[in-house]
């Protein structure tokens, strides 16, 4: 038997052959897509990892690290699983589950701007009552490209110091963690080659220097120093019931939302199948606010906002609170250290800022991010 720790690029093919034998009576749409044993192994490992199988999660990580499966192939696998859950596949032990189907379509759209996945995501969101056609969330999905990042219209103009430049692409939010480095979400920048940040009076070209698919984190580097940067919490994390703030650019408008922590260290399988710990809180994340900092009452960053549930429709879920997730500050610090990115961190729990001070401080280091 092959040990998970022995899986290397040379042995992944053999592992794929073994796993592919476990897929019996594969539905036609899955069989057509399963062009290789590696693909079949990834398909099954993704399914089992999502169901909580620890070994499958490790195998999935090894398969991705082997680089024998492209991002488009992974997206195609997620699309197939979305179809399976949408229709139900008894051969794979999959009962029809619109919400689970929506999860897989969302993973597909994050990796690849697939029109089918986005369309089915909208349909299922309406079917399950998560949104209504009149809601902002539905309109955001109509324009969605990947995750919660916002599509920039093909002729949107970015102001520059010398001239205006016209681009097409995506936008999100980022925040400085050092005079030169900006943290944002990986899904904001993935698939694009050029990046800019909008600072007061101008837009600045920046470069992508680090990213992590599992954590959905990325770092951009500015050629010029920025005077203010965020400080990351180094003490204990936020506890349930504590107030948190999220600031970012919903569209091109800067806004601040206030909420409370629902639960810390929530374990969720990422798009790569790895288990990631998140902070769950009840402030809404609007389209375009991907990559915003989650800030506590001391003004320190305690997380990076990466996803939020679609707003509930008024009739059916009038009393439901929004539900959003942020990658924990511990994961952020680990990521930055591993990538050699400088940052500032300290712990001052006894010194609380006023709401006005938190809003102003966050605005000083938060920037609008363009990817095109």
141: in domain: no
Q: Which of 67, 96, 127 is the last residue of a domain?
A: 127
> Do residues 161 and 286 both lie within one domain?
yes
Q: Give residue 365's pLDDT.
A: 92
- Same-domain pairing of 192 and 331: yes
Sequential DSSP letters for 187-253: HHHTT-S-EEEEETTEEEEEEEEEEETTTTEEEEE-SS--S----EE-SPPP-TT-EEEEEEEETTE
Least confident of 21-25, 27-31, 136-140, 216-220: 21-25
Q: Would you place residue 301 in the very low, low, confident or very high pLDDT band (cuts 50, 70, 90)? A: very high
Q: What is the pLDDT of residues 137-174, one digit of tens each?
A: 445 555 543 334 444 433 343 333 333 333 457 888 99
Examine the domain organization and report whether 78 and 211 are in the same domain.
no
Q: Is residue 133 part of a domain?
A: no
Give the torsion sign (CA, 303, 47, 150, 119): negative
* pLDDT value of position 127: 65
**Would 136 be classed as within a structural domain?**
no
Q: Which of 98, 127, 156 is the last residue of a domain?
A: 127
**Residues 158, 34: one domain?**
no
Same domain, 206 and 318: yes
Report if residue 137 sits inside a domain: no
Residue-level pLDDT at 11? 47
Say if residue 246 is in the same domain as residue 347: yes
- 76 assigned to some structural domain: yes
Q: How many domains does the chain have?
A: 2
Which tokens is 15 given? 């592992």
What would the pLDDT profile of 50-64 be if each residue is shown by its tens digit?
A: 777 777 777 777 777
Residues 193 and 273 in one domain: yes
CA atoms within 13 A on the CB side of 26: 19
pLDDT digits 0-9 by tens, 213-267: 989 999 999 999 888 889 998 878 888 999 999 888 876 678 888 999 999 888 8
Q: What is the pLDDT of residue 350?
A: 63
Per-chain mean pLDDT for the chain? 74
What proportion of the chain, given as a percentage, has pLDDT over 70? 70
User: Is 282 strand, coil or helix?
Assistant: coil
Question: Is 135 part of any domain?
Answer: no
pLDDT-derived band at 358, boundaries 50, 70, 90? confident
Q: How far apart are CA 294 and CA 203, in angstroms?
A: 24
Based on the domain organization, do 204 and 275 belong to the same domain? yes
Residue 257 lies in a domain: yes
Residues 158 and 115 placed together within one structural domain of the fold:
no
> Is pLDDT at 67 greater than 50 in this prediction?
yes
> Per-residue pLDDT averaged across 74-93, rounded?
77
What's the CATH number where 276 sits? Answer: 2.40.10.120
Same domain, 302 and 352: yes
Residue 132 domain-assigned? no
Q: Which domain holds residue 367?
A: 147-372
pLDDT band at 354 (very low <50, low <70, confident <90, very high): confident
Q: Are residues 159 and 239 in the same domain?
A: yes
Beta-sheet pairing, 195-199 with 366-371? antiparallel
Per-residue confidence band for 23, with pLDDT thresholds at 50, 70 and 90: very low
Phi, psi of 205 (to 5 degrees): -70, 135
Same domain, 61 and 199: no
Asked whether the predicted pLDDT for residue 368 surpasses 80, the reply is yes
């Amino acid at each position: 038997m092959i040990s998970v720790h022995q899986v290397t690029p040379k042995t992944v093919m053999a592992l794929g052959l073994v796993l592919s034998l476990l897929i019996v009576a594969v539905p036609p749409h899955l069989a057509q897509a399963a062009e290789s044993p590696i693909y079949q192994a990834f398909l099954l490992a993704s399914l089992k990892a999502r169901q909580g199988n620890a070994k499958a999660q490790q195998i999935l990580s090894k398969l991705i690290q082997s680089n024998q499966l492209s991002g488009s192939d992974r997206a195609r696998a997620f699309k197939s699983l979305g179809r399976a859950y949408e229709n139900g596949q008894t051969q794979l032990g999959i009962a029809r589950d619109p919400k689970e189907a929506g999860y897989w379509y969302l993973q597909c759209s994050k990796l690849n701007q697939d029109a089918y996945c986005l369309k089915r995501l909208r349909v299922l969101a309406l079917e399950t009552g998560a949104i209504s056609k009149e809601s902002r969330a539905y309109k955001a999905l109509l324009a969605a490209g990947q995750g919660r990042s916002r599509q920039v219209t093909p002729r949107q103009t970015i102001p520059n110091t010398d001239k205006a430049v016209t681009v097409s692409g995506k936008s999100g939010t980022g925040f400085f963690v050092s005079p030169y480095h900006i943290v944002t979400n990986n899904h904001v920048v993935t698939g694009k080659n050029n990046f800019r940040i909008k600072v007061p009076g101008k837009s600045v070209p920046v470069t992508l220097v680090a990213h992590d698919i599992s954590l959905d984190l990325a770092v951009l580097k500015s050629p010029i120093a920025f005077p203010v940067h965020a400080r990351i919490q180094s003490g204990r994390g936020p506890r349930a019931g504590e107030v948190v703030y999220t600031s970012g650019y919903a569209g091109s408008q800067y806004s601040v939302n206030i909420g409370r922590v629902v639960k810390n260290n929530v374990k969720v399988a990422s798009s790569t199948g790895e288990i990631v710990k998140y902070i769950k809180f009840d402030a809404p994340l609007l389209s375009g606010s991907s990559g915003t900092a989650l800030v506590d009452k001391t003004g320190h960053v305690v997380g990076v906002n990466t996803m939020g549930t679609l707003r509930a429709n008024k009739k059916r879920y009038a009393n439901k609170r929004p539900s959003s997730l942020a990658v924990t500050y511990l994961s952020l610090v680990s990521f930055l250290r591993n990538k050699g990115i400088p940052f500032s961190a300290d712990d001052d729990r006894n010194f609380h800022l006023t709401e006005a001070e938190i809003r102003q401080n966050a605005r000083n280091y938060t920037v609008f991010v363009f990817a095109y």
